[in-house]
Structure 1
Amino acid sequence: MKEINKVSIIGLGALGVMFGHHLSKKMSSEHLRIVADPERVQKYQNNEIYCNGERCQFNYITSEDEDDPADLVIFAVKYSGLEDAMESVRNQIGDETIILSALNGVTSESIIGEKFGMDRVLYCVAQGMDTVKAGNKVIYSNMGMLCFGDKEPGEPSEKVQTVARFFDNTDFPYEIDTNMKKRQWGKFMVNVGVNQTVAVYKSNYGEIQQEGPARTMMIAAMREVMALTEVEGTKLSVEDLAYWLKVLGTLSPHGKPSMAQDVEAKRHSEVELFSGTVLKLGKKYGVPTPINQELYNRITTIEKDY
Structure 2
Amino acid sequence: MEIKNVSIIGLGALGIMYGHHLSKVLPKAKLRIIADQNRIEKYQHEGIFCNGERCNFRYVTPEDSVEPADLLIFAVKYSGLQEAMRAAQNHIGAKTIILSTLNGISSEKDIGSHFGYDKVLYCVAQGMDAVKTGNRQTYDNFGLLCFGDKHGIDSEKVKRLTNFFDKVNMPYELDANMAKRQWGKFMLNVGVNQTVAVFESDYGKIQQDGDAREMMIAAMREVIQLSKYEGIHLTEEDLAYWLEVIGKLSPHGKPSMRQDMEARRKSELDLFAGTVLELGRQHGAATPVNEELYRKISEMEKAF
Deviations 1:257-296 (A, max 9, x none): 0100111111100000000000000011011000000000
Q: For residue 121 of structure 2, give the secondary structure of its aligned residue in structure 1.
A: strand
| Residue 139 in structure 1 maps to residue 154 in structure 2 | no
Shift of 1:43: 1.6
Quote the residue 2:104 is aligned against: 105
Q: Which amino acid aligns with 1:106?
A: I
- 2: CA distance, partners of 1:37 / 1:19: 20
Quote the residue 2:14 is aligned against: 15
- 2: CA distance, partners of 1:170 / 1:252: 25
TM-score by length of 2: 0.99
Greater than 6 Å deviation, 4+ residue runs? none
Quote the residue 2:217 is aligned against: 219
Quote the residue 1:291 is aligned against: 289
Q: Which runs of 5+ in 1 are unaligned?
A: none
Q: For residue 272 of structure 2, give the secondary structure of its aligned residue in structure 1.
A: helix
Quote the residue 2:237 is aligned against: 239
Shift of 1:248: 0.5
Q: How does 1:63-142 map to 2 (within 5 A)?
A: 63-142=62-141
Quote the residue 1:209 is aligned against: 207
- 2: CA distance, partners of 1:124 / 1:13: 17
- 1: CA distance, partners of 2:153 / 2:231: 21
Quote the residue 1:270 is aligned against: 268
Q: How does 1:135-174 map to 2 (within 5 A)?
A: 135-152=134-151, 154-174=152-172
Deviations 1:152-194 (A, max 9, x none): 2x34211001101101111101001100000000000000000
Q: Which runs of 5+ in 2 are unaligned?
A: none
Q: How does 1:174-189 map to 2 (within 5 A)?
A: 174-189=172-187
Percentage of pairs with the same residue: 63
Contact 2:71 / 2:96 at 8 angstroms: preserved in 1? Answer: yes
Aligned residues: 304
Shift of 1:11: 0.1
Q: Which amino acid aligns with 2:287?
A: T
TM-score by length of 1: 0.99
Q: Which amino acid aligns with 2:194?
A: Q
Q: Which amino acid aligns with 1:134?
A: T
- 2: CA distance, partners of 1:213 / 1:273: 24
Q: For residue 138 of structure 1, give the secondary structure of its aligned residue in structure 2.
A: strand
Say which of 260, 278, 284 aligns to 1:280: 278
| Residue 194 in structure 1 maps to residue 207 in structure 2 | no
- 2: CA distance, partners of 1:155 / 1:38: 38
Q: Which amino acid aligns with 2:18?
A: F
- 1: CA distance, partners of 2:38 / 2:295: 35
Give the aligned CA root-mean-square deviation in angstroms: 0.6
Q: For residue 273 of structure 1, give the secondary structure of its aligned residue in structure 2.
A: coil
Shift of 1:46: 1.5
Contact 2:153 / 2:174 at 8 angstroms: preserved in 1? Answer: no
Quote the residue 1:54 is aligned against: 53
Q: Which amino acid aligns with 1:218?
A: M
- 1: CA distance, partners of 2:106 / 2:15: 19
